[in-house]
Amino acid sequence: MNKQMNMEILSGRKDKYTAHGRTLLGVWSFFLALVTLFSGCYKEQHFGFPGPFEEEQRMPDSLPFPFDENREAGVWLMRNGEPNYDKILFKGYTDFFAAGDTLSWVKEPNGMRLIPHRNYYPITNADHFGGNPNSFQFNWVHSKYFVPVGPGKSFYMYTRLTVGTFAGTAFGLFLGVNWETGQNFVLGMDGASAIAPMFFVDLYGTTASVDPNQGWPTVNEVIVPGIPADIEVVIHDALFYVKVNGTLCFQFKLPGDLFYFTPQIRPWRNFITVHDYYIESSDAFTVDYAMHEYEQGYNRIQAPALALAANGDLLLFAEGRSNPRSAAERIAQQTMPAGDTDIIMRRSSSQGTSWDESIAVIAGQGSDQTYAFPQVVTTSEGRIVLHYSALPGHVQNNSYVFDASQQRVYQVVSADNGQTWSAPVEITDQLVTNTGYVRSGPGHGIELRSAAYRNRLVMPLVYGGTQVRAALSDDGGQSWRLSQPIAGNNRLSGAVIELDDSRLMMVLGHTNTTPRNRLVAYSSDGGETWTAPVNISAVVGTGDFGHMFHAAAVKSGDGSVHLITPTNRESDSQTYNGPAYGVTPMIFSSTDGGQSFGQGAPLFNRMAYRTYAAPIGAMDAVALADGTVIIVGEGGIESPREGIVVYRK
């Protein structure tokens, strides 16, 4: 049955449900709702998809439940009011909007409470937070696990949440997306009527609700505002049903193809507090976080730099950003080191398959200052040299601005694989010029192997966000000098490797609209001078402005050159004022010294929801002795702000 046919059926109900049916048809498009409250179907022809079921098949005792009744076999995204932030994501309208002093989601002792930032009784739009009457649309609770939704797959979802009201509101569970049409699978609560609010389902464009005259409960019969409700969603062998506080509320048979999705709760116009969130599926998977948001008190962990220690350990350095002093500073921490920022490190002794539980603080412990831009290089003697900056800043016109004249650059060294570090040595005068603040990293430098420049250290630097140079040291980092600038403006980043013919290759990102490709410059004198940049191989496509974001480059022991880059960009249409970011990172490999590259392979190659493009921010990479390339990058399931994600290729 198509959508138009379904409309006719709904509008033909008994008189007391006619107005409600019309309201429902409009409601589904303005509210991509709460993905857990799936209700039952009509006994006759009220659904256009497979079903219905006989009366006895609707009885709870006959419904299959091939899951752990104790809820221990699956994954707790949130339990007893405590979120596991590597498994759950809270997104809100004010995440990137510094118009006020609060987030949309607030942690309370019993869970995460939504502040809708919307006036429910406005006289004009100006009464809404930020003047936006649609602000309620931008609040979500995401599972960070992809799960299969469809025939042949089993999935169980449990959540405990408190609903604030039924008066003129709606909320829902968001369960799937049709890969061909982009339409959604939603179970929701239509609160247009406070007397008899209805459960409804929107299955990829086909909309229907349950009929209380046939014994199905209304929402207010199973949920009491202000009292926590237990909601269960079950999909097994194409059968879909929902229980609320143990009462069967919706049931039908799933049609169509298999889809993957990250289950979501969408409060829409409602006030919601989420207490528990659990999923179970043998096919569920997520991205591989090495560090994630809110670990060790850091709101954001970004700007990765990766080192391979002499003992084989991987050392991941990053910026840990916390304790913003204003809404503007909180917004700034989403995309840059602002306010209280530390240089932190996490270790892996298993080639990146697992990471130590603890995070070490290299700079900034107990301070509210800004320490930023980690960049690292490992020498042939096993020493690890780390650079970072102390860079104050301030809020100006609701934006965050660095005080470039106050920048200080420091170096610390470890001779025991990162277990201990020397006292910081200031190297500001050797690296800072009058062309704006200098940014080292994110990423790593290299030690040269060629006879003419053996053991020289080379560290790419960006000046004023527009000019790339290299820092050079011929004494193991005791002193530094600068190369000549690489020609051109609007250079965003540089990643350097040494080719087998002893030349250096610097891969450049830039913010020019053309060419829509990465640039490359070469040095034949150990990094002192550089050729004018040219387009890299056309095979290394960066799509729609992927060149404007960071890339990583690394050479394997067999001489193969690997370039990792975003191949497109996106912005989050579900978040107000959210920044653009790179997506769909690809690895391109060359066996002829970077003269040509083979077709790229995606870093994220799992089946996920329609048009899913893995988000990626700043990144770094190292090559192991066996040829495996370990890539770390800002990433997650929705945006790069969620933490540092690991890929192995």
**Domains and their CATH numbers in the chain:** 3-62+73-280 (2.60.120.560)
Strands 229-236 and 360-363 turn out to be: unpaired
Among 148-152, 222-226, 328-332, 599-603, the least confident range: 148-152
**CA distance linking residue 203 with residue 183, whole number of Å:** 8
C-alpha 92/C-alpha 89 separation (Å) is 10
Q: Is-contact 281 158, C-beta < 8 A?
A: no
Nearest to 471 by CA among 451, 463, 307: 463
pLDDT of residue 13 exceeding 60, the answer is no
Q: Specify which of 34-43, 430-439, 471-480 reaches the highest per-range mean pLDDT.
A: 471-480
Which has the minimum average pLDDT: 47-51, 214-218, 407-411? 47-51
Q: Answer whether the bond into residue 212 is a cis peptide, omega within 30°.
A: no
The DSSP output letter for 357 is S
Count CB neighbours of 73 within 10 A. 11
Please give the structure tokens belonging to residue 125.
């739009």
Where is average pLDDT lowest: 177-191, 503-517, 544-558, 629-643? 177-191
DSSP code at position 62: G
CB 79 within 8 A of CB 71: no
190 within 8 A of 120, measured Cβ to Cβ: no
540 vs 125, higher pLDDT: 540
Taking the CA atoms of 292, 294, 300 and 306 in sequence, report the sign of the dihedral they define: negative
Is residue 128 very low, low, confident or very high in pLDDT (cuts 50, 70, 90)?
low
Element (H, E) at 491: strand 491-498
Alpha-carbon gap, residue 243 to 158, rounded angstroms = 10
CA distance 328 to 609: 33
Distance from C-alpha of 469 to C-alpha of 461, rounded to nearest angstrom: 5
Neighbours of 88 (CB within 10 A): 21
Helix (H, G, I), strand (E, B) or coil at 139: coil
Q: Omega before 255 cis (within 30°)? A: no
Six-digit token string for 481? 């000098």
pLDDT for residue 51? 36
Asked if residues 448 and 526 have their Cβ atoms less than 8 Å apart, the reply is yes
Instruction: Write down the pLDDT at residue 544.
Output: 84
Share of the chain above pLDDT 70, in %: 86
Backbone angles phi, psi at 428, to 5 degrees: -55, -50
Tokens for 229?
């409700």
- Is-contact 332 399, C-beta < 8 A? yes
> What is the C-alpha separation between 360 and 348, in angstroms, rounded?
13
Rg from Cα positions in the chain: 27
Cβ atoms of residues 638 and 360 within 8 Å? no
Region for residue 294 given its phi and psi (left: phi exceeds 0; alpha: psi -120 to 50; beta: otherwise): left
For residue 60 the two structure tokens come to 């709870």
Backbone angles phi, psi at 125, to 5 degrees: -60, -25
Query: Tokens 């990102």 belong to which residue?
Result: 509
Please write the tens of the pLDDT for every residue from 372-388: 999 999 999 999 999 99
* pLDDT score of 610 more than 80: no
Q: What are the C-alpha distances in Å from 584 to residues 214, 250, 366, 613, 636? A: 49, 37, 38, 5, 12
Looking at 414-463, list the stretches that DSSP marks H as alpha helix, in order from N- to C-terminal side. Answer: 428-431
CA atoms within 13 A on the CB side of 52: 16
> Does residue 433 have a pLDDT over 80?
yes
The answer to whether 430 touches 424, Cβ cutoff 8 Å, is no
pLDDT of residue 286: 95
DSSP 581-622: EEEEEEEEEESSTTSS-PPPEES--S--STT---EEEEEEEE
> 242-269: buried (b, 16+ CB within 10 Å) or exposed (e) per residue?
bbbbeebbbbbbbbbeebbbbbbbbbbb
pLDDT at 43: 28
DSSP output for 78-99: EETTEE-TTTEEEE-GGGG--S
Tokens 């048809």 label which residue? 25
Is the entire prediction scored with pTM above 0.95? Answer: no
Q: Which residues pair with 496 in a beta bridge?
A: 506
| Residue 226 DSSP symbol | T
Cβ-based burial of 116 (10 A; exposed 0-12, middle 13-18, buried ≥19): buried
**Both tokens assigned to 573:** 């249409």
Per-residue model confidence as pLDDT tens digits over 194-236: 567 888 888 888 887 888 888 889 898 999 999 999 999 999 9
Nearest by Cα to 326 from 389, 391, 397, 390:
397
Residue with tokens 């509101």: 169
Using the structure block, give the residue that is written with the tokens 């006036």.
119
Hey, is 506 helix, strand or coil?
strand
End-to-end CA distance of the chain: 46
Q: Show the 3-state SS of 520-555.
A: EEEECCCCCCCCCCEECCCCCCCCCCHHHCCCEEEE
